[in-house]
Structure 1
Amino acid sequence: MIAWVLTTAAAGLLALVVFQIIVYPYFWDDLIYHLTLRKIQLMTTLRMKNGVITFLDCFVDQARKIPKKPFIVFEDQVLTYQYVDRRSNKVGQVFRTVGRVKKGDTVALLMSNEPDFICVWFGLCKLGCEVAFLNFNLKSKSLLHCIETCGAKILVVGSDLVSSLAEVLNTLQDNGIDLWVVDSNTSYQGMTTLLDKTETASDEPPPVDRSPQTDITSTFLFIFTSGTTGLPKAARDRVYLSLPLYHMSASLLGIGGCIELGATCVLKNKFSASQFWKDCQRHDVTVFQYVGELCRYLVNQPKVAEESAHRVRIAVGSGLRTDVWREFSRRFGKVRVRESYGLTEANVGFLNYTREVGPIGRAGFFNKRRLPFELLKYDPVTYEPVRNDAGHCVQANKGETGILVAPVTAMNPFLGYAGNKTLSEKKLLRGVFKEGDVYFNTGDLMLQDYRDFLYFRDRIGDTFRWKGENVATTEVSEILGSVEFLQEVNVYGVSVPGYEGRAGMAAVVLKPDQTLDGKKLYSHLVENLPAYSWPRFLRVQSCLDVTETFKQQKGRLVQEGFSPLHVQEPLYFLEASEKTYIPLTESIYDSIVTGQIRL
């Protein structure tokens, strides 16, 4: 009898396991990830009860616990947690006594990647200041706009960037902006030097005005937005960080992640694909952070011995295209990719904690309870959510692309954009599923498949319409990127006289010693893409324009279009009758715009 019961129980357990594997194959992955996040949440709650509430509190707490632990490794410098803590105290003391900076003041920071970026940032935070990170590529009007938007009355600039202010220096001074340079001396009139004064300043924490009371919603940092990533939990990690610190991925998630873990950050002034694996081996790196096309640069580099003689375990970031991901995994297989998605301005995000190539995360039962979101059907022309007869939005089906939205609640707020209430309101959807509800519109198009994996499809604005159909630039780029002779691809839409919507165009970079094979490319398109999404025009470049965070730039390409008179680089036209791409001459261009050649 006992043997029968045990056999029956074992058979039932086996059947249950088989059922789970078939019906819910990622159940344990989902559950373990959920429990890990719950553990982190409980630890954070306990820490807050002990008075460690803010980002700065966490850093000061780590400096007390692990004072001699290396915090920042930069070139040949090694800065411990204690050193950065004390140096930031000195910075705070100087701004308090010399600059008369006080709690609540907004200070703009224009610096390249260097240790003093962090020391100045933390020093100002210790005074209770609101710090605004500025993109060091900004010029004249854009720079002035950002400073005005955040309301800064003080600008701190790195010594290597002072010359970039030449055109706006007088305007800044006329506007009453107090100018500081992170240097010991300067030839510019009206600028106050910082480093000479920190040498004699006290390294004791600067006194801070404790009133009015700061709460959890008080402004801590202004960031001019872009995408985000996350960092894994592993206290012995050495995290390689080559992204610009003005970007949230690098500052709050890169530096902040290291502080949270008590880890070491190997900081680079800028990314170098040729030096990457050498740096990883030299500094014993275990984790690196990527954004956009960074991983593509690595797979396009010639093989070096260091790429297989390092301790890197994890690559974590966002914006990794599936075709690059597959090649990256094939070549650097022991490095696990943790692709993620997030936004600077909203509390919605995903992490792919499985080994599935391509998704940004999962929408399983546990994840949706922790961080609710929805995908909405949208109008393919206006990209506005579709509403039913009752005036409410309609959920997208599984396998269907929809707009990602997240509910705005007390626990999941949207605080808006500094200085622009109109733009803030435009990001909100009201009456989505019932009267009175409010959702944040990410402006991103996502797809949830039947296994509950989530895929980033495109950003509204990048997607374009042609022949009455939506063309997702990300999808087309991935397909083209798998062609053997193409190294990089940037897909966008261009206006053609006499046609609705925009025709597809691709800026491409050929692999070394490769030529454009129009017939092979045409065959590849026929096999993998519907005709409406084929790029009608090609622009062959020596390199692609990207931002400091390796996101492809399309604006100038869209504006220049496909005219041989405006584009000096080789242009090609898809000649369907010949099943190939042919050089786009002025004669062919004229025939297209006059309607003699139909697309």
Structure 2
Amino acid sequence: MITLIFTALPGLLLLPILISFIFPYIFQDIAWFLTIIRFGIRTWRYVSKTPALTVVDLFLEKVERHPDKPFVLFKEEVYTYSHMDKLSNQAARALLTHAAVKSGDCVAIFMANAPAYIWIWLGVAKLGSSIACLNNNIRSKSFLHCFKCSGAKVILAEPELKDVIEEVMPELRKDNVRVFFLTETVISEGTESFLDKVKAASDESVPKSLRSFVSGKSLAMYIYTSGTTGLPKAALINHYRLLLACGLFEICNVRAKDVVYSPLPLYHSSAMMIGVHGCIYKGATLVLRPKFSASQFWDDCRKYNVTVVQYIGEVLRYLCNVPKSDDDASHNVRMAIGNGLRTDVWSEFLRRFGEVQIYEFYASTEGNVAFVNYTNIVGSVGRVSKFDKVLHSYDFIKYDIEKDEPVRDAKGFCIKACKGQPGLLLCKISSMSPFEGYAGDKHKTERKILRDVFRKGDVYFNSGDLLTVDQQNFIYFHDRVGDTFRWKGENVATTEVADILGVVNFIQEVNVYGVAVPNHEGRIGMAALILYDEDVFDGRKLYSHVRDFLPNYARPRFIRIQNSMDITGTFKQRKVGLAKEGFDPAIISDPLYFLDERERKYVPMTQTIYEDIKMKRIKL
């Protein structure tokens, strides 16, 4: 018997080596799958009862466990878990007493990154209420649209945004909306102060009974996302989804002792859903910055002893563009978590800043499928595995870019894309992979749903993204489809921009699209215009209009004047050809204009301007 065991032992020891030789990533796939299963079971236990155990309860657990541990670091300020707990209690009581906010209400937050953003959110959640995370770059029509979608009757705004609020104040008054500025005194007619009310409120614990009805399906917040058409959409984020977002920190093995640096805006799902709540879930420390700064990034990391950083693709590219320094690799950052990272930037980042573990992921705020690059393969956003298919029923289908629609066979069903071929990502909508949709417009929710995909009656979430799967089953992001482009980390809906340009009196028709810029991430806005007969292009007037009504990232940097629009047989504007032609005056005979910030107008596009943009002598 002993002889038999010793004879078999070498074979048993060699078996894992043999398996890993045949299936090189099998053990990483299994480890990832087991982590997901453990996390999923634990999360389901949290939300399968009413009241559910939410992020607020996890936060209170951390407060009790280590009250004096720093939770948020901001400039020179340190906010411990206990301090944030007390501030959130005061915020909750101030809202309850002075704004009549009750369980189930929604409160809109309109401000830049600051600790107040987080303690206000925790205070609102303690009341059993929700928040609307308004993008602090939106203005006028976009602002009113986003606010009204939420159904909120209370806005908490920072004083720096006073002019924006005053512009829409007549509309807000019509709806009896109460506006509170984060100040100790009133700074604008018809508004109220908030900080003085917070300071006067008790910091005693808020009764848990106020949120006794909260379940996993209860609304927690609205995160706004620009999709294929129209104004920004309010994605419904429930408490179950918030907990699931914390899973990314679990997969990436973020630890309680980590210090997480998030220079991303809190109105974004990456910073709010993953960064803030991931730190609460792990009991880690979060470093906030008012706004991303490439020149200060590594100084901040050294100052706060940062070990984990959050990014979007552009962030790391900006870091690589900063002049090299002898202390580039002098830091304690061991991990970077984010999405949208270009392969060449990924490689350059590692060469320059040292061996940082990069966890690139693919996900969308409202989507029902996500991937994570747990194998550390440069450029990949994850892997297709049999284990993965147990959790989500997703596929990649052929897509006709010119027609802007899926390719279907003779029976009317979609055709799966082959390996190495870009395919539109779809994920079946089910209890395991729900799609909650958007607030305020069922039509917008329906547009993200694809029906009769592989059989009659099936229902899938349409990601709107093209991805490719290679022969080793690694997934790579390819491009977005439809009427949207991405610039400076923001999705821009072309129809929203076109609607705003279309009200200018000399513009008859507008076609907005994104164009690639050499040595830049994403696509920048460009608009092809047809002018009314007898009218001329007014570069100063158009500049003033886009400045007033569009955030910086959505303003078209290039204008092309055409005599007629090229349309498809179904009367859709053609964009692909225009996007390919770009903005080079050497190859385009139509009049071209460039948005010149210094001149504060659109100026005629020249070959010199083109070359300066290409060589980065002009900053976009």
TM-score by length of 1: 0.78
What percent of counterpart residues are identical? 40
| Contact map agreement 1:462 1:492 (CA 8 A) in 2 | no
- 1:246 aligns with 267
| Contact map agreement 2:366 2:437 (CA 8 A) in 1 | yes
Q: Which one of the candidate residues 358, 383, 391 is aligned to 2:412? A: 391
Q: Which has the higher contact order (CA 8 A, sep 6+)?
A: 2
| Contact map agreement 1:278 1:306 (CA 8 A) in 2 | no
- 1:341 aligns with 362
What CA RMSD, in Å, does the superposition of the two structures yield over aligned residues?
3.3
Q: Which one of the candidate residues 237, 258, 262 is aligned to 1:237? A: 258
**1:43 Cα deviation from its structure 2 partner:** 3.8
Measure the CA separation in 1 of the matches of 2:7 and 2:525.
62
Can you list the C-alpha shifts for 1:103-146, whole angstroms capped at 9, x where unaligned?
12121110111111111111112112221010001111110111
**1:79 Cα deviation from its structure 2 partner:** 0.5
Aligned residue pairs total 510
**1:390 Cα deviation from its structure 2 partner:** 2.8
Can you list the C-alpha shifts for 1:65-122, whole angstroms capped at 9, x where unaligned?
2211110000111001111111111011011111111112121110111111111111
Residues 384, 335 of structure 1: alpha-carbon distance in 2 compared, 3 angstrom cutoff = same
Q: Tell me the amino acid that sits aligned with residue 388 of structure 1.
A: D
| Contact map agreement 2:63 2:82 (CA 8 A) in 1 | yes
Residues 456, 463 of structure 1: alpha-carbon distance in 2 compared, 3 angstrom cutoff = farther
Correspondence 1:187 to 2:208: no
Measure the CA separation in 1 of the matches of 2:58 and 2:97.
26
TM-score by length of 2: 0.75
| Contact map agreement 1:443 1:459 (CA 8 A) in 2 | yes
Correspondence 1:443 to 2:460: no
Q: Tell me the amino acid that sits aligned with residue 118 of structure 1.
A: I
Can you list the C-alpha shifts for 1:293-322, whole angstroms capped at 9, x where unaligned?
000110111123443221100011000111
Can you list the C-alpha shifts for 1:494-525, whole angstroms capped at 9, x where unaligned?
8799xxxxxxxxxxxxxxxxxxxxxxxxxxxx
**1:363 Cα deviation from its structure 2 partner:** 0.7
**1:196 Cα deviation from its structure 2 partner:** 0.8
- 2:425 aligns with 404
Residues 460, 9 of structure 1: alpha-carbon distance in 2 compared, 3 angstrom cutoff = same
Q: Tell me, which stretches of 5 or more residues in structure 1 are unaligned?
A: 465-472, 498-546, 574-580, 585-599
| Contact map agreement 1:226 1:344 (CA 8 A) in 2 | no
Residues 46, 415 of structure 1: alpha-carbon distance in 2 compared, 3 angstrom cutoff = closer
Correspondence 1:281 to 2:308: no
Is the partner of 2:213 in helix, strand or coil? coil
- 2:453 aligns with 432
**1:18 Cα deviation from its structure 2 partner:** 5.8
Is the partner of 1:388 in helix, strand or coil? coil
Q: Tell me the amino acid that sits aligned with residue 39 of structure 2.
A: I
- 2:496 aligns with none
Q: Tell me the amino acid that sits aligned with residue 151 of structure 2.
A: G
Measure the CA separation in 2 of the matches of 1:571 and 1:187.
46
Measure the CA separation in 1 of the matches of 2:591 and 2:219.
50
- 2:505 aligns with none
Measure the CA separation in 2 of the matches of 1:582 and 1:250.
36
- 2:587 aligns with none
- 2:323 aligns with 302
Correspondence 1:66 to 2:62: no
**1:20 Cα deviation from its structure 2 partner:** 3.1
- 2:84 aligns with 84
- 1:325 aligns with 346
Residues 303, 120 of structure 1: alpha-carbon distance in 2 compared, 3 angstrom cutoff = same
Q: Tell me, which stretches of 5 or more residues in structure 2 are unaligned?
A: 228-244, 486-512, 531-549, 562-581, 584-589, 595-602, 614-620
- 1:256 aligns with 277
| Contact map agreement 2:127 2:210 (CA 8 A) in 1 | no
Measure the CA separation in 1 of the matches of 2:5 and 2:311.
54
Is the partner of 1:220 in helix, strand or coil? strand
Can you list the C-alpha shifts for 1:326-350, whole angstroms capped at 9, x where unaligned?
1111112321111111111122101
Residues 202, 416 of structure 1: alpha-carbon distance in 2 compared, 3 angstrom cutoff = same
- 1:520 aligns with none
| Contact map agreement 1:126 1:205 (CA 8 A) in 2 | no
**1:48 Cα deviation from its structure 2 partner:** 5.4
Measure the CA separation in 2 of the matches of 1:558 and 1:292.
26
Measure the CA separation in 1 of the matches of 2:2 and 2:357.
46
| Contact map agreement 1:135 1:246 (CA 8 A) in 2 | yes
Q: Which one of the candidate residues 384, 395, 405 is aligned to 1:363? A: 384
| Contact map agreement 2:524 2:556 (CA 8 A) in 1 | no
